[in-house]
Amino acid sequence: MSSANISVIITTYNRPDALIAVVEACFAQDDQRFEIIIADDGSGHNTQQAVAALQARSPLPLRHVWQEDLGFRAARARNLGTLDARGDYIIFLDGDCVPQRNFISQHRKLAQRGYLVQGSRILLNEQATQRVLSRHLDVQCLGMADKLAWRGRGELNKVLPLLLTLPDVGRTSRRFSWRRIKSCNLAVWRSDLELVNGFDESFLGWGHEDSDLVVRLFNAGVMRKDGAYATEVLHLWHRENARDQENSNRAIVLQRAADRTVRAVKGLLRQCRPLAECSP
């Protein structure tokens, strides 16, 4: 098991009810040796109030970094969070992905130098999401019967990873793929992020900035490790973001894979520490 200092960077944008559910699930982790940085992509006053209330009762270090709302800039928000983080192992988590109670302890077990860990997610449908948020349900406390019932009603897209945890065996491979990479649940050593200059903020709009990061990490010698059946989060339903830039962003990733690009064009070193960007 790794003794790394862990920082959890939670990205959010104008969805305080989901953010509260995610952060409260972090408060209830069976491993409390981590800090939380909320990386805010320009949310308004409601989110600021929610974060202040969470900070007031947090059992963990919890900080809030914010940037002006100039459109979808998740890459920059994550870079701001990374610059503020004090840990040497970074877990990126989206503000609509509720972790299981052993999320941190399982990520700690899987942490391995030379590897990133692609975590796993389970999708909730719209009806289940509304029920969780409106009733403030603690999904960490769902029993086996509840999980099977939710799956039977189609409210979860899969259930077996919630019922079975597999050990750290056979999770690495010499073959690499950047497909199905999701930064909603992704763990990376800070030194590796610095090596590739973090997320590339030159990506415009939604899509593939996370794939780009993983391709550049691979080009730098960092391999991928599978976190399925260990690191599951419950991804709350939301409407899809506009994807008008997806094809052009994907083309950039493919080109960088071919060119063996390592460093982001505009990444961590183009940032200043976000001391002036702590509130709207």
Of the options 3.30.2290.10, 3.40.30.10, 3.90.550.10, 3.40.50.720, the CATH number for the domain spanning 6-266: 3.90.550.10
Return the pLDDT at 114: 96
Return the pLDDT at 195: 97
Q: Please state, in angstroms and rounded to a whole number, the distance separating the CA atoms of residues 13 and 79.
A: 15
Handedness of CA 190, 166, 144, 147 (dihedral sign): positive
Counts for the chain of helices (H) and strands (E), in that order? 10, 10
Structure token pair of residue 204:
């415009």
Return the pLDDT at 242: 57
Which strands form 223-226's sheet, in the order they lie side by side? 62-66, 34-40, 6-12, 89-94, 185-189, 115-118, 223-226
Return the pLDDT at 273: 44
By three-state DSSP, how is residue 187 classified?
strand
- Name the nearest CA neighbour of 98 among 47, 151, 156, 166: 156
- Which of the 8 DSSP states describes residue 76? H
Task: Sort 156 into a burial class: Cβ within 10 Å, 0-12 / 13-18 / 19+.
Answer: buried
H helix intervals, the chain: 16-27, 45-56, 74-84, 103-110, 126-134, 144-152, 160-163, 190-196, 209-219, 246-259
Q: In the chain, where are the structural domains located?
A: 6-266
| pLDDT tens, the chain, 280 aa long | 678 899 999 999 999 999 999 999 999 999 999 999 999 999 999 999 999 999 999 999 999 999 999 988 999 999 999 999 999 999 999 999 999 999 999 999 999 999 999 999 999 999 999 999 999 999 988 999 999 999 999 999 999 999 999 999 999 988 887 777 888 999 999 999 999 999 999 887 777 899 999 999 999 999 999 999 999 999 999 887 655 566 788 889 999 999 999 999 999 987 544 433 444 4
The phi-psi region of residue 129 (left if phi > 0; otherwise alpha if psi is between -120 and 50; otherwise beta) is alpha
- Which of the 8 DSSP states describes residue 41? S
The pTM of the full predicted model, rounded to 2 decimals, is 0.92
Task: Sort 36 into a burial class: Cβ within 10 Å, 0-12 / 13-18 / 19+.
Answer: buried
